[in-house]
């Protein structure tokens, strides 16, 4: 966990994410992976979890996506969410729920990355690999409401 001692702007943090796919540890208070799985998968577990060899595998992957999508919809209804528009290079309030859903699904499927910011809890949500989302709690983070949403959607915070 970081100490959030370095004072940088949100825009600088987002640029770090875009350029390096991570944020320096001294720029956030907490970092978690949000996962459907309740532990870090070993290589064999990951191979099995993300295999697409049958229709059954595809259905399982869609069910996992549904948990994440429901989590994001719950967040959308509870908090004002902002997304980073890479073309405009700025944060915009999420206003179009259809575009929001497509963006979340594209991020989970690793088609195109997303970065969302929730000002109320000073948290960035970043699409990651293997159907995970990285949560960066930037400063003075109280994740109680967020943890409730994660739990209600059968997802887990992994350190």
Q: Percent of the chain, pLDDT > 90?
A: 70
**pLDDT tier for residue 133 given thresholds of 50, 70 and 90:** very high
In 64-148 the beta strands, taken as DSSP E runs, fall at 81-85, 90-93, 115-118, 123-127, 133-137
Token match 């996992």: residue?
A: 64
pTM listed for this prediction: 0.90
Catalogue the E-assigned strands of the chain: 30-35, 81-85, 90-93, 115-118, 123-127, 133-137, 156-158
pLDDT digits (tens, 9 = 90+) for 25-79: 989 999 999 999 999 999 999 888 888 889 999 999 999 999 999 999 999 999 9
Domain layout of the chain by residue ranges:
32-158
| 158: enclosing H helix or E strand | strand 156-158
How far apart CA 105 and CA 99 sit, in angstroms, is 10
């Amino acid at each position: 966990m970081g100490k959030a001692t370095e004072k940088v702007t949100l825009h600088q943090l987002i640029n770090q994410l875009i350029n390096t796919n991570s944020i320096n540890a001294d720029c956030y208070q907490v970092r978690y992976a949000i996962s459907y799985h309740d532990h870090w998968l070993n290589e064999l577990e990951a191979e099995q979890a993300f295999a697409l060899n049958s229709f059954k595998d595809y259905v399982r992957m869609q069910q996992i996506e549904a948990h994440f999508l429901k989590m994001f919809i719950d967040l959308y209804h509870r908090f004002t969410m902002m997304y980073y528009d890479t073309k405009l290079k700025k944060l915009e309030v999420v206003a179009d729920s259809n575009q929001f859903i497509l963006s979340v699904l594209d991020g989970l499927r690793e088609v195109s990355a997303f970065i969302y910011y929730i000002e109320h809890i000073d948290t960035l949500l970043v699409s990651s690999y293997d159907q995970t989302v990285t949560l960066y709690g930037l400063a003075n983070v109280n994740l109680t409401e967020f943890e409730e949403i994660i739990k209600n959607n059968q997802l887990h915070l992994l350190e």
